[in-house]
Chains A and B, each alone.
Chain A
Amino acid sequence: MTTEPTREDVILEIDDIHTYYGAIHALKGVSLNVRAGEIVTLIGANGAGKTTTLRSINGLNQPRDGRIRFQGRDITSVPSHQVVKMGIAQSPEGRKLFPRMSVRENLEMGAFQRSDRKNLREDLDRVYTLFPRLSERKNQKAGTLSGGEQQMVAIGRALMARPKLLLLDEPSMGLAPIFVEKIFEIVREINEQGTPILLVEQNALMALETASRGYVMETGRIALADEAKALRQNEQVRKTYLGEGA
């Protein structure tokens, strides 16, 4: 095990949150944290509550109980449009692009809340460097792109906010294997450029290879938390999430 993180190290700290959809109790006490510079992955079966966890951080579904702190500030009840201003950007499940806007407009929307509009050009170039494909398609309507290209726009759009923490919800979902490799490569690259990432994935194998630490969710709770390497060796995880026969 590693040493306990110091307080300054932890940039996101989720403490025992409970989130509901009406009467449905979706998160039943979730705690996790993300430290500066790392990639943390959150894996688990369908309906475990991974997306709900990210939506809770974003303020789209505010927890009824528990605390979320970002860089030491309590953001549990901060409205979603202000969370991004504080430095948390998300590439959501299902991409959620603006289908009738061009690729470029979608990317520019990512910088909507920023006051330093003059660096926009530079940031667009950074996204185009990460995803040269998007540069070729910048005037195409986002709704007409392939799934992989849409995923690139979703990640690029989140980067345009210059986030201090990036949330990625199943970036590999529905993509051809070659695209999956590529997306994970880019996730590592973004991280190496200094952005900590909370990565939600169904593709547990790739996620655990990419992340330094991981959490395993089961029906609204964190079932396991460990170093990614340790989770890869874990009997239970191997059986359930890495598809290795009993």
Chain B
Amino acid sequence: MLVGLIVVWLLVNFFKDPSEFAAVFLIGLTNGTVYGLVAIGYTLVYGILQLINFAHGDVFALSGLVSFTVLVDWLGVTPADSTAVAVGGILFTLVVVMAVFATVNVTIEFVAYRRLRHAPRLAALITAIGMSFIVQNVGLALYDVDFRSASGLIPRTNVFEIGDVSYTWNKFMVILITVPVLVLLTWFVASTRHGKAMRATAQDRDAAAMLGINVNRTISVTFALAGALAAVGGVLFLTQFNMRYDTGFELGLIAFTAAVLGGIGNLTGAVLGATLIGLIQAFNEGLAWHAPGSDWTRSIVFGILIAILVFRPEGLLGERTPEGA
């Protein structure tokens, strides 16, 4: 019923103004990929520890701010530079910030979560919320309340233009960077020794240990991956939008919703959920005919979170497991 109404609403919008619809669709897709990079971090960590790492959104935001320092303050890349310089700067920044935040995330697990692994879940959850505030306030202390942005480094010239629909290089870069990262991640998890250890540990930690898997190290690897992906999200976000110390709070919740929507613990699900949320947000804010508008975005996103938890807690791609996890 509700789904039917939404489909009708989308169709009407599509036929009223196909080019606007397509443009909005592309915006949603681009934003969704950034959400996806953060959502994967929630899902990876939840999959292996059954812990909602509330600090993850704040790690993302801090990584964006640090990438501003690297890209703008240190490398001094400005919109006046050539595209080649901008691309080189962004790639260099990516590598540095990924390494730094992989380390930060591993440290967070080691300091805050490891000892609580056998403690009641509530203890770990409260620690995660505490960690979220700590990371956020480190961001506040280092960067104050000002917004930072590095948008405009990549020219807004068009990749393609069909009628009124155009897609700029600036946005396309997000996809160009995210897709290989996701392909690499998939390969890593599916085929490498560490990836196998991660999957085994997520499915049965004791059995994994019994078979010779170093569980502590595997959990560290998982946090490193999550931190590195959040950093990719941070850099890309910085090249599109403004961000400051508390940007991670809301974006983290959106990404978490995406992970739950896709089925928490499921990698493909996180990307799917994030894409859907990106599209929902873009349609809601961008379509002309009877869209609720941006004032409603949060209500809609968190309405989705509640609806999923009530009606399909395993998410779109998750499997109902006997443990209920």
State the A residues within 8 Å of B (CB).
58-60, 79-82, 84-85, 89-90, 92, 96-101, 109-110, 112-113, 157, 161
Contact = CB atoms under 8 A, between A and B. Distances in A.
A110 B213 CA distance: 10
Contacts of A92: 206-207, 210
A90 B321 contact: no
Contact of B212 (A60, A85, A96, A101): A85
B196 interface: yes
Contacts of B193: 112
A218 B299 CA distance: 59
Contacts of B200: 98, 101, 109, 112
Nearest to B203: A98
A110 B196 CA distance: 12
A41 to B, nearest CB: 20
Give the interface SS of chain A, mostly helix, strand, loop or mixed: loop
Contact of A98 (B204, B209, B319): B204
A2 to B, nearest CB: 32
Given A60-B209, A92-B206, A98 B214 contact: no
Most buried by B among A60, A84, A92, A112: A112
- Give the interface size bracket for B toward A: 10 to 19
A113 B218 CA distance: 14
B211 A161 contact: yes
A161 B212 CA distance: 9
A59 B206 CA distance: 10
B39 interface: no
Given A85-B212, A112-B193, 14 more contacts: A60-B206, A80-B210, A81-B212, A81-B215, A89-B211, A90-B210, A96-B210, A97-B204, A98-B204, A109-B196, A110-B211, A112-B196, A113-B212, A113-B213
A96 B196 CA distance: 16
A99 B209 contact: no
B241 to A, nearest CB: 36
Nearest to A95: B207
